Amino acid sequence: MRKYGTAVLGLMFALSLEGCGEGERTVYVAQETSVEQETSAAQETSVNQETGLTAAESGETSQEVQEIPEFAVRREENVPPENMTLYSSCPFSFDNEEWQLCLYVQAELVIDGSLALDDRCAFLIRAEKGDGAYTLFEDTVQLGVPAGDVWMDLENRLHIAIRDIRSARYQVTEYVYDGEADAFYGQKVVDQDGVNYIGSIGE
């Protein structure tokens, strides 16, 4: 009887120890799982923050990179435009060649060298060199006179800016000459319609 009692006590003690071991393992695994979850959450939050910043920066970059559409003006034969007369010109030299920027108007509107503006007047602006010409502006303008400016940048590239200013429009188109392509490439750097143009000074 005493042997059986000792055996039972030994079995209960062994079970007790085994239970404690399982409890310790269970607590350890639970703690480890908790740490892993916290680490994973922290990493996910960090990634989300970085991703959000990258998306914002990407949006800004997308807006900055967005380019203005460009169009080309090719060389054509330099012949006098029909029913028009030369009203104003700006001669200049570029790349060892003689150029001029010319403003043509309807012939009947030039009286004794002065422009008699009508409600609507046809204008033509061309860059000309030798037997070639490049039409940079051709339109009928209401209550306004288009103008052009010529300059060269620090890289010795030829620029011509055309200002189309009338009663309800303010538009500036900048052209850059490409000698290899023998063409002007233009972009509308200012394009406003429906405005109320008031006037200018210095001309």
In a domain, 189, yes or no: yes
* pLDDT at 97 exceeding the cut of 70: yes
Neighbouring-strand partners of residue 170: 165, 192
Q: Is the pLDDT of residue 7 over 50?
A: no
Q: In this predicted model, which residue has the larger pLDDT, 82 or 3?
A: 82
Cβ-Cβ contacts under 8 Å for 167 (sequence gap 6 or more): 142, 143, 144, 196, 197
Task: Give the count of beta carbons closer than 10 Å to the beta carbon of residue 97.
Answer: 11
- Boundary of a domain, candidates 66, 97, 119: 66
Please state, in angstroms and rounded to a whole number, the distance separating the CA atoms of residues 9 and 13. Answer: 6
**Is a pLDDT exceeding 60 seen at residue 85?**
yes
Same domain, 4 and 92: no
Last residue of a domain, one of 66, 96, 117: 66
Q: Are residues 79 and 32 in the same domain?
A: no
* 8 and 77 part of one domain: no
Domain containing 102 equals: 71-193
Whether 137 and 179 map to the same domain: the answer is yes
pLDDT at residue number 26: 40
Query: Which pLDDT band holds residue 200 (cuts at 50, 70, 90)?
Result: confident
Q: Alpha-carbon distance 157 to 146, whole Å?
A: 23
Confidence of residue 126 (pLDDT cuts 50, 70, 90): very high
87 plus 183 within the same structural domain:
yes
The proportion of the chain whose per-residue pLDDT surpasses 90, expressed as a percent, equals 52
Question: Are 39 and 77 members of one domain?
Answer: no
In terms of domains, do 105 and 81 share one? yes
Q: Are residues 39 and 128 in the same domain?
A: no
Predicted confidence (pLDDT) at residue 60 exceeds the cutoff of 80: no
pLDDT at 36: 53
Is 51 a residue whose pLDDT tops 50? no
Residue 185's alpha-carbon distances to 112, 127, 147, in angstroms, are 36, 13, 18
- Which tops the pLDDT comparison, 139 or 62? 139
Shared domain for 29 and 78, answered yes or no, is no
Question: How confident is residue 2, by pLDDT bands cut at 50, 70 and 90?
Answer: very low
The arithmetic mean of pLDDT across residues 42-51, rounded, is: 50
- Whether the model clears a pTM of 0.85, i.e. scores above it, the answer is no
- Residue 202 belongs to a domain: no
> Could you give the percent of the chain with pLDDT greater than 70?
66
Residues 44, 111, single domain; the answer is no
Which of 66, 84, 115 represents a domain boundary (last residue)? 66
148 lies in a domain? Answer: yes
Q: Is 200 domain-assigned?
A: no
Place 68 in a pLDDT band, splitting at 50, 70 and 90.
Answer: low
Retrieve residue 17's tokens: 């120890």
Range from 12-16, 32-36, 128-132, 170-174 carrying the lowest mean pLDDT: 12-16
Phi-psi label, residue 77: left if phi above 0, alpha if psi -120 to 50, beta otherwise: beta
Q: Are residues 140 and 160 in the same domain?
A: yes
Q: CA dihedral in degrees (3, 4, 5, 8; nearest 10)?
A: 120
Given a cut of 80, is residue 73 above it in pLDDT? yes
